[in-house]
Amino acid sequence: MTYLSKGELFDSIMYRLARVIYKTRLEGIEESTQSWEETFLEHSGVTIDEFIKYAQDNNLKEKYIDAKKV
């Protein structure tokens, strides 16, 4: 499955969420047995790895993070 953009606001939110949970994506959430990766899939419709590929292909880091540094 490939991520399809749902608009700039949603992409921005999902990008920031992916950055926060990427390193801990395989760990479970304290109150749940669901991993962060499963939670991301539930909310975005794609795995975090698929979204990261989309983000890299579409240069989202530059769009959402680097643009604020200027």
> pLDDT digit of tens for each residue in the chain (70 aa)?
677 788 888 888 888 888 888 877 666 556 667 778 888 888 888 998 899 899 899 888 888 876 555 4
Contact 11/57 with Cβ under 8 angstroms?
no
Contacts of 23-26 with C-beta under 8 Å, sequence gap 24+, read none
Is the full-model pTM beyond 0.95? no
Query: Which residues touch 51 (CB under 8 Å, ≥6 apart)?
Result: 3, 14, 15, 18, 40, 44
Closest C-alpha among 47, 65, 15, 51 to residue 36: 47
Question: In the prediction, which pLDDT does 30 show?
Answer: 66
- What secondary structure letter does DSSP report for 29? P
Asked whether residue 3 is domain-assigned, the answer is no
Does a structural domain hold residue 23?
yes
What range defines the domain where residue 40 resides? 8-69
pLDDT for the residue 33: 73
* Domain presence at residue 59: yes
Residue 1 lies in a domain: no
How many domains does one find in the chain?
A: 1
